[in-house]
């Protein structure tokens, strides 16, 4: 994934836990931090190694690290030069979720090697929808849960998320039932 993702993980650890914890995460992960250039594609293995090392150093399950990162990403992108892109994706949570693919298509004009996820909304009501999440990658469902929580905060609604299906043997992709009020 693009270096931008790894830069955001570093910012999250710096701001919540401090420089010393980050240094330890880098040491354990064996990752070369100088490769973190926002606009350069990095091997996905780097991001997974950072999440694994953060889980070890911070003594948190990897699922918690991914959720915290997802929540942080919605704040980070808004202040890291993508505020206008975030603003134009929608004024309400459901509108924004419907526009996620358009958002990543716009991101792809700046990041030509982007391999973005794909989202679609089904069974939409005034207060709920089923979010279908498709990705070439594995193991990022908790990231999506964190992202949804962050988007709930962005739109000032309280969000409940129930995972209905997980990508694996039974299903080709993951599905989340999202309710807000
Ligand atoms: C302007 C805001 C955003 C930017 C600039 C952005 C950019 C990116 C980038 C660079 C990647 C890495 C993919 C790659 O390098 O191949 C990515 C992945 C991802 N993005 Fe976004 N994104 C934004 C907003 C969002 C939001 C609001 C969501 C909410 C659901 C989201 C969901 C994801 C997920 C789940 C991934 C992980 C990759 C995967 O599932 O395969 N993104 N995004």
Tell me the best of 44, 81, 94, 104 to mutate to test the pocket of ligand 1, counting ligand atoms within 8 Å of each CB and taking the most.
104
The CATH number assigned to the domain holding 74 equals 3.90.1520.10
Mean pLDDT of the residues in the chain: 97
Q: Where are the alpha helices (DSSP H) in the chain?
A: 3-17, 19-29, 44-58, 62-79, 83-88, 93-98, 100-110, 141-154
Structural domain ending residue among the three candidates 21, 44, 60 = 60
Domain co-membership, 53 together with 8: yes
Q: Does ligand 1 have an atom closer than 6 angstroms to the CB of 121?
A: no
Domain residues for 53?
3-60
Please say whether the beta carbons of 131 and 97 come within 8 A. Answer: yes
Q: Does ligand 1 have an atom closer than 6 angstroms to the CB of 77?
A: yes
Domain co-membership, 56 together with 101: no
Rg of the chain on CA atoms, in Å: 16
Question: Given the CA of residue 42, which atom of ligand 1 is nearest to it?
Answer: 15
Q: Does ligand 1 have an atom closer than 6 angstroms to the CB of 135?
A: yes
Domain co-membership, 169 together with 139: yes
Task: Output the CA 38–ligand 1 centroid distance in Å.
Answer: 13
Please say whether the beta carbons of 175 and 164 come within 8 A. Answer: yes
Q: For 40-69, what is each residue's pLDDT tens digit?
A: 999 999 999 999 999 999 999 999 999 999
Domain co-membership, 153 together with 81: yes
> Strand, helix or coil at 125?
coil
- Whether the pTM exceeds 0.95: the reply is yes
Task: Output the CA 56–ligand 1 centroid distance in Å.
Answer: 24
Per-residue confidence band for 9, with pLDDT thresholds at 50, 70 and 90: very high
């Amino acid at each position: 994934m693009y270096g931008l993702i790894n830069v955001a993980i570093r910012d999250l650890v710096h701001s919540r836990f401090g420089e010393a914890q980050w240094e330890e995460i880098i040491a354990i992960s064996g990752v070369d931090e100088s490769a973190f250039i926002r606009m350069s594609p990095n091997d996905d293995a780097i991001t997974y190694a950072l999440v694994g090392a953060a889980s070890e150093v911070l003594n948190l399950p990897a699922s918690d690290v991914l959720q915290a990162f997802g929540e942080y990403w919605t704040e980070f992108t808004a202040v890291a030069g993508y505020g206008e892109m975030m603003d134009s994706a929608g004024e309400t949570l459901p509108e924004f979720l419907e526009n996620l693919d358009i958002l990543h298509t716009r991101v792809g004009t700046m990041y030509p090697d982007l391999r973005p996820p794909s989202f679609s909304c089904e069974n939409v009501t005034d207060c709920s929808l089923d979010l279908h999440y498709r990705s070439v990658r594995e193991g990022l469902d908790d990231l999506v849960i964190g992202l949804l929580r962050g988007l709930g905060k962005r739109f000032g609604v309280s969000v409940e998320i129930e995972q209905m299906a997980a990508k694996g043997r039974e299903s080709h992709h993951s599905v989340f039932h999202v309710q807000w009020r």
